[in-house]
Chains A and B, each alone.
Chain A
């Protein structure tokens, strides 16, 4: 392989990423109003799908707890928002989500396949019921108002959370823990007999993933003014990240990012222009993606790219 080309490629990629970051950081200056609001929801979906992929893709444990962690973040913001600054309740929201993930993970990560998926989804059903029960009995009300924060601040908060998450996801994938997570997905029993503390690695990764989802929930809560448990724990937030990751492709870090952006954009456009057909078109896109893009959009792009390059690195 040509080493100079690889280095210059790397420099190019870093430069491009730096440029994108600068453009994003200055966005509210040249594109005020609607754009930062739209971008905030892009970042929210990026955080959800990248966090989901971080744990579920290498290990093969299909988590449907995303909406639960997201809701825990939202409710943390709703309860603390008036008393502490934004950065504090974002971090607390993330931490509480992590703690829930550790408890749930320690209990359920021995469950395999569909049992794990169903259990995690059970959380999305259970937690809001508990919250409703608790609110009705303690306060005699259901739901609560969330502190309002201006949308540029929210935009920056989501930007920072996404950037930290992407760096974390990149480092984990490249580290020996990334390799260990993959080996757990391949053959958990063999991984354990190779010296890997499978329970600990699974629980910690699940908790890291939950932290970012909870932090995103705490941030986004401030956009909704009023939340009740059923709004906060919307099951759709368990499924959308999975769909986005499958659509974008899970083999590369860029897959869930691209998937999230395209889906979020589609959703925005379809809701405003084809209100009635929105879910129908959404569904068709997904079916086509699963049938014809087994490795997602990024898988397709990479395959085309290899063909253009003449396929000099045949894959075996």
Chain B
């Protein structure tokens, strides 16, 4: 049974089909990549899964439960966390408080404040931000703000993590570190669904890749299959 499953998911913006009749599934423990040209509907699909948008038609199931019309906070508390393409940290709050909020309001809402601080401290250690725990998030570099988002998402104790372009804007060293972070998150037993443009990264860490184009799923397969698929090369990889 897949941990996440979508059937015929469709979303229109005005007359434009941003996501059109897309079927998808993510298995427990997998790292699944989602790629496609700009405007292909990748972030829209993430917004539909996480409840920021409601699909026009179609069903999205998480662990066999229908989550299609639930609110973002309800979906988060069921165990689906996300990060954002454009970083959305709580800018004026210290890094620690950013992460603490995830622990306090996520899956284990009702946790004691001491327990929440302990978890948040561990997660800061995990993503490598212990040294800046008291710094307001706005004063961090882009890569560190992205780490804050990851730590905040992990603090909600997800079983499925949606990463929206974690590597965009990072340099080569930072991309390597981010790839290593993604693998370590999977080793914690968390399933990952990630949108990515950095080909090296997505080919390196994903078990399976899905390709969207003009809101439709045009291909799906292992990194090798995708890299050699003629359709994908035509619309996306070029040459």
Contact = CB atoms under 8 A, between A and B. Distances in A.
Interface string A193-204: 111111100000
B119 to A, nearest CB: 13
Nearest to A190: B88
B139 A192 contact: no
A171 to B, nearest CB: 13
Contact of A179 (B84, B100, B139, B153): B100
Nearest to A200: B73
Contacts of A193: 50, 52, 72-73, 76, 81-82
Interface residues of B, number: 34
A309 B150 CA distance: 38
Contacts of A180: 101, 104-105
Contacts of A192: 52, 71-73, 76
Contact of A195 (B52, B90, B92, B107): B107
B73 A198 contact: yes
Contact of B105 (A176, A186, A187, A189): A176
B88 A196 contact: no
Nearest to B158: A195
Contact of B52 (A186, A189, A196, A198): A189
Interface in B30-81: 50, 52, 71-73, 76-77, 81
Interface in A71-109: none
A194 B97 contact: no
Contacts of B84: 189-190
Contacts of A197: 71, 73
Interface string B86-105: 00111111000100111011
B71 A176 contact: no
B92 A186 contact: yes
A8 interface: no
Nearest to A192: B72
B93 A195 contact: no
B109 interface: yes
A187 B98 CA distance: 11
A194 B156 contact: yes
A69 B8 CA distance: 48
Contacts of B105: 176, 180, 194-196
Given A179-B104, A316-B135, A195 B73 contact: yes
Contacts of A198: 73
A101 to B, nearest CB: 21
A195 B106 contact: yes
B131 to A, nearest CB: 12
A183 B101 contact: yes
B91 to A, nearest CB: 6
B152 interface: yes
Interface in B113-172: 113, 116, 134-136, 139, 152-153, 156
Contacts of B71: 192, 197, 199
A182 B100 CA distance: 13
B73 A190 contact: no
A300 interface: no
Contacts of A196: 73, 101, 105
Given A190-B89, A195-B156, 18 more contacts: A176-B113, A183-B101, A186-B92, A187-B89, A190-B88, A190-B90, A191-B90, A191-B101, A192-B72, A192-B76, A193-B50, A194-B76, A194-B152, A195-B109, A196-B73, A196-B105, A198-B73, A316-B134
The 8 A-B residue pairs with the shortest CB-CB distance, nearest first, are A195-B105, A186-B90, A190-B88, A192-B72, A195-B76, A195-B106, A176-B104, A187-B88
12 contacts: A176-B104, A179-B104, A183-B93, A190-B84, A191-B90, A192-B71, A193-B76, A195-B73, A195-B105, A195-B109, A316-B134, A316-B139
Interface of B: 50, 52, 71-73, 76-77, 81-82, 84, 88-93, 97, 100-102, 104-107, 109, 113, 116, 134-136, 139, 152-153, 156
